[in-house]
Structure 1
Amino acid sequence: MNSKVNLKEKLTLFSAHWTPKIIGELNGQYVKLAKLQGEMVWHDHANEDELFLVIKGSITLHFRDGKIDLNEGEMYIVPKGVEHLPEAKEECHVLLFEPKSTAHTGDVESALTVKDLEWI
């Protein structure tokens, strides 16, 4: 039997922004926690949807044709192939569900790209 996961405890284990940490796996998907602040880069995920669930704070998901603001307790699924730029003016904590194959910044290489995700 797996042990339960306490999200608040897991969030105390790291401080870096834009570096998702894996906290679980189910049905070929990773469950990740991330701390966000500032802007990410424009990117998409050609073959995977991406779920953002805000645990603490707020985030704006920018799209080429608009934006969506998410607050604590709200979620949004970015459809595969849709270019987006996440932005958090203040530190924001999110839970992400993504297929294991999802590259952090899609095909875009930047200083924020993380290739080897850490389990915590």
Structure 2
Amino acid sequence: MRQPIDLETVLAGFTAPWSPRIVAQVNDYDVRLARFAGEHVWHVHHDTDEFFLVLDGIVHIGLREQGGERVVTLPRGSAFVVPRGVFHKPSSEEGAVVLLVEPTGTVTVGDEHDEVPDHIDATTGHLVP
């Protein structure tokens, strides 16, 4: 990446929720831009944390921790890290735009997951041309 990336232009280029676009790479990490709509699947990344920054909308992240389940609500401008090894389920009732940071090659549905419905793109991200 040798030129600035206009995130609005990237967003204008796709509408599919749960199908992130890789907008940059920093060392061994992808910076991904994604649209969230409806529910994702319960999943876990055994070896990596997952960083969420909500650029627009509201995101809810269900977490399964030792004390049981809880939901973290992230309004626009909020950031949150899901620690490695924690089952989680992102969702957005009204839709959201989220910036994610994960190691390159991390699959969107994690290492273990519930059955993946058709509206979820099980991918390592799509490069922005």
Instruction: Say yes or no: TM over 0.5.
Output: yes
Partner of 2:43: 43
Q: What letter matches 2:27 in structure 1?
A: N
Contact in 1 for aligned 2:37/2:91 (Cα 8 Å): yes
1:105 partner SS: coil
Aligned length: 120
Q: Secondary structure at the match of 1:14?
A: coil
- How big is the alpha-carbon RMSD for the aligned residues of Structure 1 and Structure 2? 1.4
Task: Give the match for residue 95 of structure 2.
Answer: 91
Q: How far apart are residue 87 of structure 1 and its match? A: 0.8
Partner letter of residue 76 of structure 1?
A: F
Q: 1:110 maps to what in 2? A: 116
Are residues 46 and 116 of structure 1, via their aligned partners in 2, closer, same or farther at CA, if it must alter by over 3 Å? Answer: closer
> Which one-letter code corresponds to 1:74 in the other structure?
S
Q: Which moved more, 1:2-11 or 1:32-41?
A: 2-11
CA distance in 2, matches of 1:10, 1:17: 13
Partner of 1:28: 28
2: CA distance, partners of 1:72 / 1:9: 19
SS at match of 1:115: coil
Please say which of residues 4-13 and 90-99 is displaced more in the overlay.
4-13
Structure 1 outlier segments of 4+, above 3 Å? none
Q: Aligned partners of 2:11, 2:4: CA distance in 1, in Å? A: 15
Q: How does the TM-score come out when normalised to structure 2?
A: 0.87
Instruction: Judge conservation of contact 2:54–2:99 (CA < 8 Å) in 1.
Output: yes
Post-superposition shift, 1:63? Answer: 1.0
Note the residue ranges of structure 2 that are not aligned, 5 or more in a row: none
Cα 1:101–1:76 change in 2 (3 A) is: same
Q: Which residue identity does 2:79 align to in structure 1?
A: M
The answer to which of 100-109 and 78-87 deviates more is 100-109
Instruction: String of CA shifts for 1:52-77, please: whole Å, max 9, x gaps.
Output: 00000010001122111001111001
| Equivalent residue, structure 2, for 1:52 | 52
* 2:75 corresponds to 1:71: yes
What TM-score does the superposition give when structure 1 sets the normalisation length? 0.93
